[in-house]
Structure 1
């Protein structure tokens, strides 16, 4: 009887650990992102996950459960604001909104299941080593890259973002982008896990263990050394650059309820007043946020004429008072016609005094926010969209603004687009000198979403080594320099004007030139070793020496 009780207790402890360890990892990972922003936690958040994975290695059902016990809590912590938005603006019942969040969290958890299963298949957790850590790190980056691209892509909450709070680590983004930051996070976690296994198995005195500790240590120490070198290099370039512009970023703080109700007069008065006040700072450029003016340009004739009349009067006044000319970039819904058929775009327009000089129509739309994917096949999906399916995507391009010294090229990113490194790289390669993010984060209230969104802007600034401006309808707006340092930053839900001096950069970072290189290499390395592992396991030639040589580092552990 006592034996049975002991057995039950042992099983109960194992079951509890089976749930608790991945759940604990999920909580640590979630807390490393804003609002909690306890970024230091990201360096050891995955250790419990690795531990339980090693115990259940190669058991598919167990690994699937582990991925859910990790993924659902993590993404629920990270993306809880989806419930707030769906309930408040999508008029969706609270229970259904929670179900939608859980479905999304479950889908995103599948990438962790793939990682855990494939990493276990390659024996990377049972007997960790430097070689296995590098292999698992490449596999992890490959799957994060796939999550960012497949099925429209959802790169929110990539593991590298908490490193935006560590300046020396952040500088690596100019080499490998957000993928390099995620790789670093993984390697540091794996290193601590490797140490834990070494000391718990009493192998820490062996020469092999000490050699691998040295290899891990050298790799990890290389990161801050590069960060320091890169920071000094770009600070020198920044100080030597004399080409400056003065900018003003306007944050109107228009509640989403008013924007939804098309209270055009309130928005017009707010931004007209802010624009007039911003001119006191003598800016070269004035930036409005996404859809700052809530009408259809030029389809809504009355507000269109009213706003254009304001701009023309403003420019006449500027000329009369000998104020230097400026360009204004404003967000608005734009109506275009193709063969008589109207199309609505989420646009940025450039006004330089007499007419619209250039425009950009948002290319990457928000699923269920600006369009409904697969709605032709599943009409019921339209019910869970926050807005009706009327927005149409534009083409990838930069904004060109004429100045006396020549054209200025601005890389425009509207809202969700700033989450995609791929979009940034493509546009920087066309010659962008400044990054501008226009967004309307009023959808999210005082949740963590605006803070997470601004965190991404820090990484985009370093990836492109450009001054990055973010103009939000309501928080968080800011000016970020090419080293990822916040120059100015607004408060949430506050009407503000941010004015400051920026410098134009034309230097190319490594990531700007070869943005896709690291994730593609990670995909190739991961695919190659998986194919070789399968060949070794199932091929009648698996005893051949050339395959055994390749997998000798995996065997040694």
Structure 2
């Protein structure tokens, strides 16, 4: 029962520390109960099935965390929610099982170091493999407290993950020593160490917060929130009707000085979308072009779905959708920048939602489960991507905008690719309406604040049903438009040209952790067991 309650405590502490309603200080002690469970099971010689006990209790802790913080997925699809919650909890529990195996063969210091680096490697894996789900990466937990994490411009969100684990490990080690020697000085020293480890980074961050000033140049931007119900209205309305609505909303805020107008993702998605090869002669292009004609400084960043047909098998891609023996279709979740130039600039979303926009590991899974796709919200079809991040040059300015589409905004190093390609402003185009008025859309908005700090770029965020917002380079909200509200927002936002250390270095903490974790693992299992 004691072990059960301790595992329960870890799960609840992790959940209660998570945005947007949680208090992240709880994460600094959240793993201690579970670590103690693993240690206690290891030192009790009479217990049987130790590995299964560790795995089961770890799974309980992580299931509680995953369920409480991401159960909003069920509002789009029950099966998809179950898959994400159950499998992610399984992977996290497996990490603790590996840690237990290592801890039996080496010192506590080495085993805890291994655990920290292993967890960071797991988070890095979640940013890159085809079952990608980085929503619960620990560094995201501080998104509602931007004054605490201004140093993310040097470390990225992995700095937050390392921060959480270091404090947990110091307190856990102190607790073990106290139980062994019953010396209160051990706890006092640990309290001083952890207080310093928590407070010093926050103090440095607050100093940076009040001394940091963005560059003086600004652009005027407008974001649109059409508030279209994706389950009923979106796929029943024509592109012309939606285009008229967007222009009506834009006119409420736009002026002759407006440089950037941003819509949500795939706001134009009638039938199968717009034919990509003929877009520059399509009704959708000319409708937008006619609107832009009245505003000489305007750059219209439009979210839409494209398709491209192939009848020649030689042209098909692994992501092509086959309709018959002679027809394949590529679908794209895209952004098009339309201004006074003759043709549009186009970017195709490249970080795709698992099971909705991509089929993970097709060559292995397709023979087993056929064409099954999870439905986490959206048009269920394989999407085609592009390799490089595009930064669109804004007409009549010297600046570039990044068309960050929906899920892409959760990926720190991925977003730095836009900045390395010249982006001075980030435009996030999203549709979070699939999950209703839950923590899903609130967390997604909150994570965008981290991207602003990491890159020191202003963000113009257009969300179909909300929350649309402007975020400054310090991660603060300039303006927001409430959820389930139709309207537009206008703001003058700073444009920066400086490059942060994190933009240059990327996820270096994760890369270092990979080498350390591998080294510690090899040393542990290729040396004589310690008794």
Q: TM-score range by the shorter chain?
A: 0.7 to 0.9
| Alpha-carbon separation, structure 2, partners of 1:229 and 1:531 | 42
TM-score w.r.t. the length of structure 2 is 0.85
With 278-287 and 474-483 compared, the bigger mean Cα shift is at 278-287
The equivalent of 2:217 in structure 1 is: 243
Q: Output one character per residue of 1:110-141: Cα deviation in whole Å (capped at 9) or x when no partner.
A: 33234323433444999966x76555433322
The equivalent of 1:92 in structure 2 is: none
Say what the alpha-carbon RMSD is for the aligned residues: 3.1
| Alpha-carbon separation, structure 1, partners of 2:105 and 2:173 | 9
Question: In structure 2, do the counterparts of structure 1 residues 190 and 313 end up closer, same or farther at CA, with 3 Å as the change threshold?
Answer: same
With 194-203 and 519-528 compared, the bigger mean Cα shift is at 194-203
Question: In structure 2, do the counterparts of structure 1 residues 482 and 57 end up closer, same or farther at CA, with 3 Å as the change threshold?
Answer: farther
| Alpha-carbon separation, structure 2, partners of 1:440 and 1:512 | 26
1:396-435 mapped onto 2 (5 Å cutoff): 396-406=388-398, 408-435=399-426
* Cα shift at 1:250: 0.6
Contact 1:398 1:409 survives alignment (8 Å): no
**Aligned counterpart in structure 2 of residue 394 of structure 1, from 386, 392, 400:** 386
| Alpha-carbon separation, structure 2, partners of 1:117 and 1:390 | 35
* Cα shift at 1:161: 1.5
| Alpha-carbon separation, structure 1, partners of 2:397 and 2:85 | 50
In the alignment, is residue 105 of structure 1 matched against residue 85 of structure 2?
A: yes
| Alpha-carbon separation, structure 2, partners of 1:213 and 1:313 | 65
* Cα shift at 1:75: 1.3
Q: Any idea what SS the aligned residue of 1:328 has?
A: strand
The equivalent of 2:331 in structure 1 is: 344
The equivalent of 1:177 in structure 2 is: 156
In the alignment, is residue 47 of structure 1 matched against residue 27 of structure 2?
A: no
| Alpha-carbon separation, structure 2, partners of 1:516 and 1:230 | 21
| Alpha-carbon separation, structure 1, partners of 2:280 and 2:12 | 48
**Aligned counterpart in structure 2 of residue 22 of structure 1, from 1, 4, 7:** 7
Q: Any idea what SS the aligned residue of 1:44 has?
A: helix
Question: In structure 2, do the counterparts of structure 1 residues 189 and 490 end up closer, same or farther at CA, with 3 Å as the change threshold?
Answer: farther
Contact 1:140 1:183 survives alignment (8 Å): no
The equivalent of 1:489 in structure 2 is: 480
With 390-399 and 47-56 compared, the bigger mean Cα shift is at 390-399
Question: In structure 2, do the counterparts of structure 1 residues 266 and 52 end up closer, same or farther at CA, with 3 Å as the change threshold?
Answer: farther
Contact 2:356 2:382 survives alignment (8 Å): no
**Structure having the higher Rg:** 1
| Alpha-carbon separation, structure 2, partners of 1:37 and 1:213 | 23
Question: In structure 2, do the counterparts of structure 1 residues 528 and 346 end up closer, same or farther at CA, with 3 Å as the change threshold?
Answer: same
| Alpha-carbon separation, structure 2, partners of 1:197 and 1:413 | 46
The equivalent of 1:370 in structure 2 is: 357
| Alpha-carbon separation, structure 1, partners of 2:188 and 2:370 | 59
Q: Output one character per residue of 1:281-310: Cα deviation in whole Å (capped at 9) or x when no partner.
A: 842111111011223224799998554444
TM-score w.r.t. the length of structure 1 is 0.81
Contact 1:361 1:395 survives alignment (8 Å): no
**Unpaired runs of at least 5, structure 1:** 1-15, 87-96, 319-323, 543-554
**Unpaired runs of at least 5, structure 2:** 44-49, 313-327
| Alpha-carbon separation, structure 2, partners of 1:302 and 1:526 | 49
**Aligned pairs, number:** 502
Q: Any idea what SS the aligned residue of 1:436 has?
A: strand
**Aligned counterpart in structure 1 of residue 267 of structure 2, from 292, 306, 311:** 292
The equivalent of 2:206 in structure 1 is: 228
| Alpha-carbon separation, structure 2, partners of 1:163 and 1:170 | 7
| Alpha-carbon separation, structure 2, partners of 1:498 and 1:452 | 21
The equivalent of 1:260 in structure 2 is: 235
Q: Any idea what SS the aligned residue of 2:234 has?
A: helix
Q: Any idea what SS the aligned residue of 1:75 has?
A: helix
The equivalent of 1:277 in structure 2 is: 252
- RCO higher in 1 or 2 (8 Å CA, sep ≥ 6)? 2
| Alpha-carbon separation, structure 2, partners of 1:77 and 1:509 | 34
**Aligned counterpart in structure 2 of residue 31 of structure 1, from 16, 19, 29:** 16
| Alpha-carbon separation, structure 1, partners of 2:192 and 2:66 | 35
